[in-house]
């Protein structure tokens, strides 16, 4: 259907950074613009700027929304009206939108009006339908890679938490020190100690147990030189950190013993929770339901509510609790059917080699981006370290007060911790190239077997990747409905179908497989 394509030499450039942090670095946006501009020059295209005096491209600022935002719509409206523009150039396809569904829809709709999207970094464009499919695939793979990675990274963090190391920002009254030397440190092996304020907070807990009201406690604290608000005091009393516990969403709201000096014993802390709420129990540890890993993920097609699970005579069952639904079914049966669904999502074996190559390419390009990011982050870290030395020197010579010094240092240290977490993530990404290709391929080609062998966590992960919004079970049809599946599988289907179609009828032009 290439006859509909606009054939002019005018184009627009689209750039986007996904976080305010990247925007601050600046380099990223400039770099994107440069890549796109080089492409335009090489292909003798005239660029239509958003602001021609400044030569500013479309997008260009921080668009945090997952959806295609206002700035992108502004550009699309222009290319719809101005038929002399034939191309949109972006540095990489994933700059169009972070949301896969949106980006693919956008590619399809632009193709329909004859506009081509070009990826400057690789030269791929959407001018014919096979290339458009490849673009969709690249986008999907990049997103899937992110999802799998985010999960892994998260698991790494979780491990940290489980071992009692606390990596987040410390609550009021704590400072991190090396337990051997007593020197302040940001290392993960450090221990959290109560500082001067923390010692006063210790009194607050004791007073609370003795029956003082919060107002009286605030009064007493302020006479000791610690002035805080009512809300802060409430947060302190509610926070199990002061009882030496780390609580985190990452731990499914469970708690572990942290490397923390306690301001109150855990038993006393529990008593305070009772005093405060009269309703004990919210802090209970949640337990995994090991043999019903789909609990909460299967949705009843009748009422849309997630199924719960229960155990009877050693067997597990899923159940819809809605009055009127009264649906329950054995876990064994529901799991077998679920495995069939996963099998249906797998990449056909004969296409594995093709996909492996495609996935490899996508990830390699992503790596180049990460190398650039790493350089920027290291540069920023060095600058902050310089600032810390400068600040320390000024404090030593009495140029600045202790208060100013401490607050500046805290801010610097927080930023350095963030940078180090990002660097750690980048490093992990770069070192695991082949493993990531394998992971994605495995995820897409062997899902059902993988699921069968997997532990609870992995099963949850697979479910989250395959059906991020839950999977519907239709009791009338006695089977699952798969319309909620991850968009990556739609793209894989389209590519597989197009590939088979070509193989069967090599002479025929592949027509409209990317529409809709
Ligand atoms: Zn129901």
- In the chain, the domains with their CATH numbers are 2-139 (3.40.50.1390), 173-277 (3.90.1750.20), 288-346+455-485 (no CATH)
Gap from CA of 475 to ligand 1 centroid (Å): 9
Gap from CA of 312 to ligand 1 centroid (Å): 20
Gap from CA of 327 to ligand 1 centroid (Å): 7
Task: Compute the chain's Rg from CA coordinates.
Answer: 28
Gap from CA of 304 to ligand 1 centroid (Å): 6
- The predicted model scores a pTM of 0.50
pLDDT at 282 (0 to 100): 36
Gap from CA of 377 to ligand 1 centroid (Å): 50
Sign of CA dihedral 300, 306, 312, 314: positive
pLDDT at 371 (0 to 100): 84
Nearest to 126 by CA among 170, 90, 100: 90
| DSSP code for 242 | G
Residues 101-107: contacts with CB within 8 Å, 24+ apart?
A: 101/487, 102/66, 102/67, 102/68, 103/68, 103/139, 104/136, 104/139, 104/140, 104/487, 104/490, 104/491, 106/68, 106/72, 106/76, 107/132, 107/135, 107/136, 107/514
Instruction: Please state the separation of Cα 42 from the chain's center in Å.
Output: 36
pLDDT at 513 (0 to 100): 39
What is the spatial distance between Cα 434 and Cα 332, in angstroms, rounded to a whole number?
Answer: 35
Neighbours of ion ligand 1 (CB under 5 A): 300, 302-303, 320, 322, 325
pLDDT at 233 (0 to 100): 93
Helices (H), 163-280: 196-210, 214-223, 230-238, 266-277
Gap from CA of 320 to ligand 1 centroid (Å): 5
pLDDT at 289 (0 to 100): 52
Gap from CA of 286 to ligand 1 centroid (Å): 24
Please answer whether residues 370 and 402 qualify as being in contact, where contact means their C-beta atoms are separated by less than 8 angstroms. no
Which segments of the chain have a pLDDT < 70? 1-3, 18-28, 61-68, 98-101, 129, 143, 146-165, 167, 186-189, 248-255, 277-290, 442-443, 502-516
Pairing status of strand 174-177 against strand 116-119: unpaired
Gap from CA of 297 to ligand 1 centroid (Å): 13
What is the spatial distance between Cα 169 and Cα 277, in angstroms, rounded to a whole number?
Answer: 26
Q: How many CB atoms lie within 10 A of CB 185?
A: 16
Gap from CA of 300 to ligand 1 centroid (Å): 5
Gap from CA of 470 to ligand 1 centroid (Å): 14
pLDDT at 516 (0 to 100): 34
∠ Cα 388 423 139 (to 5°): 140
Gap from CA of 79 to ligand 1 centroid (Å): 47
pLDDT at 26 (0 to 100): 41
Nearest to 512 by CA among 118, 4, 119, 138: 4
Gap from CA of 319 to ligand 1 centroid (Å): 8
Gap from CA of 486 to ligand 1 centroid (Å): 23
Nearest to 12 by CA among 68, 64, 55: 55
Task: Look at the block and give the residue holding tokens 């038929």.
Answer: 83
């Amino acid at each position: 259907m290439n006859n509909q394509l606009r054939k002019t030499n005018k184009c627009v450039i689209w750039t986007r950074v996904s976080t305010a942090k990247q925007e601050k670095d600046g380099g990223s946006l400039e770099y994107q613009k440069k890549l796109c501009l080089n492409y335009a020059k090489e292909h003798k295209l005239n660029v239509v700027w958003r602001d021609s005096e400044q030569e500013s491209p479309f997008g260009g600022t921080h668009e945090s929304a997952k959806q295609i935002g206002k700035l992108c719509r502004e550009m699309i409206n222009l290319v719809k009206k101005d038929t002399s523009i034939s191309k949109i150039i972006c540095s990489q396809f994933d700059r169009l939108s972070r949301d896969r569904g949106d980006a693919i829809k956008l590619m399809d709709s632009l193709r329909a009006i004859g506009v081509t999207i070009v990826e400057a970094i690789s030269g791929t464009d959407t001018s014919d339908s096979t290339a458009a499919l490849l673009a969709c695939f690249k986008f999907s793979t990049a997103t899937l890679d992110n999802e799998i990675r985010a999960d892994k990274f998260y698991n790494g963090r979780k491990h940290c938490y489980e071992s009692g190391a606390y990596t987040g920002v410390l609550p009021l009254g704590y400072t991190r020190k090396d337990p051997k030397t007593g020197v302040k440190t940001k290392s993960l092996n450090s221990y959290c100690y109560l500082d001067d304020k923390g010692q006063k907070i210790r009194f607050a807990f004791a007073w609370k147990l003795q029956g003082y009201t919060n107002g009286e406690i605030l009064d007493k604290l302020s006479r000791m030189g610690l002035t805080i608000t009512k809300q802060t005091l409430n947060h302190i009393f509610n926070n199990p950190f002061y009882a030496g516990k780390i609580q985190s969403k990452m731990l499914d709201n469970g708690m572990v013993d942290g490397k923390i000096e306690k301001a109150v014993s855990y038993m006393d802390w529990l008593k305070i929770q009772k005093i405060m709420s009269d309703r004990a129990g919210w802090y209970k540890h949640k337990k995994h339901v090991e043999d019903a890993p789909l609990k909460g993920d299967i949705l009843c097609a009748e009422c849309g509510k997630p199924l719960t699970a229960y155990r009877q005579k050693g067997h597990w069952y899923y159940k819809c609790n809605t009055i009127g639904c009264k649906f329950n079914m054995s876990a064994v049966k529901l799991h077998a059917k679920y495995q069939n669904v996963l099998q249906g999502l797998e990449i056909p074996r004969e296409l594995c080699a093709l996909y492996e190559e495609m996935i490899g390419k996508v990830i390699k390009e992503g790596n180049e981006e990460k190398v650039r990011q790493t350089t920027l982050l290291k540069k920023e870290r060095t600058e902050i370290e310089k600032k810390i030395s400068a600040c320390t020197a000024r404090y030593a010579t009495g140029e600045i007060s202790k208060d100013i010094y401490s607050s500046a240092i805290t801010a610097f240290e927080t930023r350095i911790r963030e940078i180090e977490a990002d660097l750690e993530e980048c490093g992990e990404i770069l070192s695991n190239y082949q493993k990531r290709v394998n992971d994605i391929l495995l995820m897409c080609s062997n899902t059902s077997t993988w699921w069968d062998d997997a532990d609870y966590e992995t099963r949850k992960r697979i479910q989250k990747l395959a059906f991020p919004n839950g999977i519907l079970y239709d009791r009338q049809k006695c089977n699952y409905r798969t319309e909620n599946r991850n968009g990556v599988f739609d793209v894989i289907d389209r590519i597989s179908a197009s590939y088979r179609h070509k193989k069967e009828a090599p002479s025929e032009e592949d027509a409209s497989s990317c529409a809709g």
